Amino acid sequence: MSWKESTRMSQRSEFVAFARAPGANMSELCRRFEISRPTGYKWLRRSSLGLDVEDRSRRPARSPRRTPPGVEAHVIAVRQRYPFYGGRKIRRLLAREGLPRPPAASTITAILARHDLLSAERRRLKNWQRFEEAAPNALWQMDFKGHVPLSRGRCHPLTVLDDHSRFCICLAACPDEQGTTVRKHLTVAFQRYGLPERMLMDNGGPWGSSGQGVHTRFTAWLIRLGITVSHGRPHHPQTQGKDERFHRTLKLEVISRRPVWQSNPELQTAFDSWRPEYNLERPHEALGYEVPGSRYAPSPRGLPSFLPAVEYDLDFEVRRVQENGRIKLKSRRFYVGRAFTGEPVGLLQVGEAVWDAYYCHQRIARFDLTQPPADTESEV
């Protein structure tokens, strides 16, 4: 996996952040980042000494915006660097930059108001009740943001977010929303960050199909890799609330910077520049104003070099799915989905006349032999 020049520094920063985590596997990290172990230890050593991990820093030795003559000028400079940050986020950044006793968030807000730097619209606080997984990689949320018009064509931003840390796993400027396109970008993400335990997505393409059943060929591939696939409730985008909130930030801080973007590669360059800022620099309110990278670590489950065989315990009866998406059970035919055509599924009796159908580890259908089978699909 080749590294783009524009994202080399962010990838090295990610490596250092992951290598510092307790229990980090240095050999595995070096393999995933395609570097030698001596190089990995060199970056880690330079970072511990406060040196830049880049071979040759391109930052200027002095910057008036970073080292203003007074506190108020410092606050203004931070706001200019991050025009969408409020008082609390700016205060966190000032402390991180070593400013002794940074002013209170309310004071920073007053400074911004005096210089007419506050947004016209300010979000009203609500008593939200948040839910999150207990550990990184327990759940990834995935979705397409609404398409972005280009000078010619459209961009379909693909976003993947870790539920526990809000770490942005993938941010890709896609020309379409096809399963092959998503699979290509996810493969790169799996190679870098490993496999999650579960992935949550909505019921749209390419990971949901009301006419074909609950699953598609794409989600069947995820299940084959050992990932549990979950779909949100139809017409309830709040199920993927963290990813939806990420889309708002993405639109505000990146997409709206230009009235019209020229092409997908141009927008991808902007994504590649902003993603490390979001992951490693931008304080997140839901994380107590820590950055997502402080709570994330790659999954120990690496991407296998080939798909594992589909096997079932002796308690299961095995059937191969026909082209119409059906299997035969007790002289009757039941629909499990065209996504599994040609694949073996395991049938497990769970009641006197009730059977569950599994593909690998995941239940994909339930049949009640006392009821007539559905014509097109079975609800799990």
Taking the CA atoms of residue 276, residue 281, residue 287 and residue 292 in that order, the dihedral angle to the nearest 10 degrees is 20
With a CB cutoff of 8 Å and minimum separation 6, the contacts of 226 are 195, 301, 308, 360, 361
What local confidence, expressed as pLDDT, does residue 65 receive?
45
Tell which residue, 234, 214, 222, has the closest CA to residue 357: 214
Q: Within a domain: residue 331?
A: yes
The total of other beta-carbon atoms located within 10 Å of residue 301's CB is 15
Q: Within a domain: residue 352?
A: yes
> Do 144 and 160 contact (CB within 8 A), yes or no?
no
What local confidence, expressed as pLDDT, does residue 221 receive?
95
| pLDDT interval class at 12 (50, 70, 90) | confident
> Do 206 and 177 contact (CB within 8 A), yes or no?
yes
With a CB cutoff of 8 Å and minimum separation 6, the contacts of 36 are 30
- Its pTM stands at 0.72
Q: Within a domain: residue 72?
A: no
**Domain shared by 287 and 340, yes or no:** no
**Domain shared by 269 and 228, yes or no:** yes
Q: Within a domain: residue 123?
A: no
| pLDDT interval class at 66 (50, 70, 90) | very low
Residue that finishes a domain, picked among 263, 294, 325: 294
For residue 157, the one-letter residue type is P
**Domain shared by 273 and 322, yes or no:** no
Q: Within a domain: residue 359?
A: yes
- Cβ-count burial 361-380 (b if 16+ within 10 Å, e if not): ebebbebebeeeeeeebbeb
The total of other beta-carbon atoms located within 10 Å of residue 228's CB is 16
Residue 175 has pLDDT above 50, yes or no: yes
pLDDT in tens, 95-122: 877 777 777 777 777 777 776 777 654 4
Q: What angle do CA 131, 135, 136 make, to 5 degrees?
A: 105
DSSP state of 208: -
In whole angstroms, give the CA distance from residue 112 to residue 102: 15
**Domain shared by 154 and 274, yes or no:** yes
**Domain shared by 205 and 261, yes or no:** yes
Handedness of CA 305, 306, 308, 309 (dihedral sign): negative
Residue 353 has pLDDT above 50, yes or no: yes
With a CB cutoff of 8 Å and minimum separation 6, the contacts of 278 are 168, 249, 292
What does DSSP say about strands 317-320 and 344-349: parallel, antiparallel, or unpaired? antiparallel
**Of how many residues is the chain composed?**
380
Task: Supply the DSSP string of 181-194, one letter for each residue.
Answer: HHHHHHHHHHHHH-
Biggest CA pair distance of the chain: 84
**Domain shared by 273 and 331, yes or no:** no
CATH of the domain at 271: 3.30.420.10
Q: Within a domain: residue 219?
A: yes
**Domain shared by 20 and 146, yes or no:** no
**Domain shared by 210 and 260, yes or no:** yes
- Cβ-count burial 250-261 (b if 16+ within 10 Å, e if not): beebbbeeeeeb
- Mean predicted confidence (pLDDT) in 33-53: 84
Residue 2 has pLDDT above 80, yes or no: no
Task: Supply the DSSP string of 251-266, one letter for each residue.
Answer: HHHTGGGSSSB--HHH
The total of other beta-carbon atoms located within 10 Å of residue 43's CB is 21
In whole angstroms, give the CA distance from residue 214 to residue 337: 7
In whole angstroms, give the CA distance from residue 346 to residue 363: 9
Q: Within a domain: residue 109?
A: no
Rg of the chain (C-alpha set): 24
What local confidence, expressed as pLDDT, does residue 321 receive?
95
Domain that holds residue 328: 317-368
Residue 266 has pLDDT above 80, yes or no: yes
**Domain shared by 218 and 334, yes or no:** no
**Domain shared by 150 and 275, yes or no:** yes
Q: Which tokens go with 237?
A: 């985008």
Q: What is the mean pLDDT of the chain?
A: 83
In whole angstroms, give the CA distance from residue 224 to residue 344: 12
Number of domains in the chain: 3
| pLDDT interval class at 123 (50, 70, 90) | very low
**Domain shared by 157 and 198, yes or no:** yes
Q: Within a domain: residue 97?
A: no
In whole angstroms, give the CA distance from residue 52 to residue 195: 30
**Domain shared by 253 and 323, yes or no:** no
What local confidence, expressed as pLDDT, does residue 211 receive?
45
